[in-house]
Amino acid sequence: MTEQTTTPDTIGAADAPKWSRYKYPESLYKHGTLLLILLFLGYSLHFLNVDIGLLIGALGRFAGVVSDRYYPPDLEYVLDWGYLASILDTLQMSFLGGFAGVCLAIPLAWFSAWNVSPNRRVLFPLGRLGVISCRAIHETIWTILFVSVLGFGMLAGVSALTMFCIGFAGKLFADEIEAIDMGPVEAMRAAGASSFQVFLFAVVPQVRVAFTGIAIYTWDVAFRAATVVGFFGGGGMGWYLKRNVQQLENLRVAAIILSIIVMVLIAEFLSGWLRAAVNRAK
């Protein structure tokens, strides 16, 4: 197209200024970092003994395995009373874990919110540490630990879910508290209120609605976790999952996974609806 040009072609002159996209040393650092990351990923694949062929074909294989071994799901199995009762157990566990977790998370969040923490030397780091350690350890590990202390059963599952919910809700609560308007807090402090009174009268009214929403969301997430705590001895649906996985009853496993998906979708829908209702009612 250049021969049809309408612009003056005087730009090819020898004294034309030069420009290059690459600048030393910024571009070197940037591309060097990128290269290092790629090398690290490649080395990881090697280190982890990942068969690249298997990785590339994994999704196709996944579809093949699902259609060969997991189809058709044994739906009669999941409509059995024993299993339906375990769904109810799972629901109850998630409610209890969520409720206890939220109740414990509120004081911890209060301690670990820098702006209103009652004691920045002692309680603030304690609250932070509590929330962070609950968060850092995965719910399945909590389950295994509680099972080893409390034995198999839903008490261990509820305790594990409680820890999980403290970590999950505690962080969201603390973030919410740290974002409040400090005006009322100062007013209360100026009026001579104690830390607890400040929390009750200046903080709680501001975060009540947000906390309710977070609490509902916590339950939703806790339910997702509750579907698997049984796998490690915590009771509920996961226990059936484990038994059938071990017995290689793949069609039943498929049905159980399907039921988990359906229940989680219902829970998610319910929690979305509730949160919308709370936001409307505020």
**Binding to another protein in span 150-169, by CB under 8 A:** 150-155, 157-158
Among residues 24, 81, 149, 280, the one that binds another protein under rule CB under 8 A = 149
Q: How far is CA 253 from CA 7, 70, 179, 250, 273, in A?
A: 70, 8, 45, 5, 30
CB 206 within 8 Å of CB 180: yes
Whether 252 and 244 have beta carbons less than 8 Å apart is answered as yes
Annotate each residue in 91-110 with x if it binds another protein (CB under 8 A) or - if it does not, as one string.
Answer: -xx-xx--x-----------
The residue count for binding another protein (CB under 8 A) is 72
Tokens of 164: 């999980």
Residue 122 to residue 139: CA distance in whole angstroms:
27
The one-letter amino acid at 179: A
Q: Residues 56-75 vs another protein: string with x where CB under 8 A?
A: --x--xx--xx--x------
Question: Per CB under 8 A, does 29 bind another protein?
Answer: no
- The helix (run of H) or strand (run of E) holding residue 160 is helix 154-178
Q: Residue 201: count other Cβ atoms within 10 Å of its Cβ.
A: 15
Nearer to another protein, 56 or 182 (CB): 56
Residue 200 near another protein by CB under 8 A: no
Contact with another protein (CB under 8 A) among 14, 15, 24, 47: 47
Among 28, 50, 79, 277, binds another protein (CB under 8 A): 50
Does position 44 interact with another protein (CB under 8 A)? The reply is: yes
Q: Is 268 in the site for another protein (CB under 8 A)?
A: yes
Residues 158 and 229: their CA atoms lie apart, in Å, by 9
Quote the least distance from Cβ 183 to another protein, whole Å: 19
CA distance 196 to 148: 37
7 binds another protein (CB under 8 A): yes
Question: From the CB of 186, what's the least distance to another protein, in Å?
Answer: 24
CA gyration radius, the chain: 28
Q: Tell me: does residue 243 bind another protein (CB under 8 A).
A: no
- Indicate whether 204 belongs to the interface with another protein (CB under 8 A): no
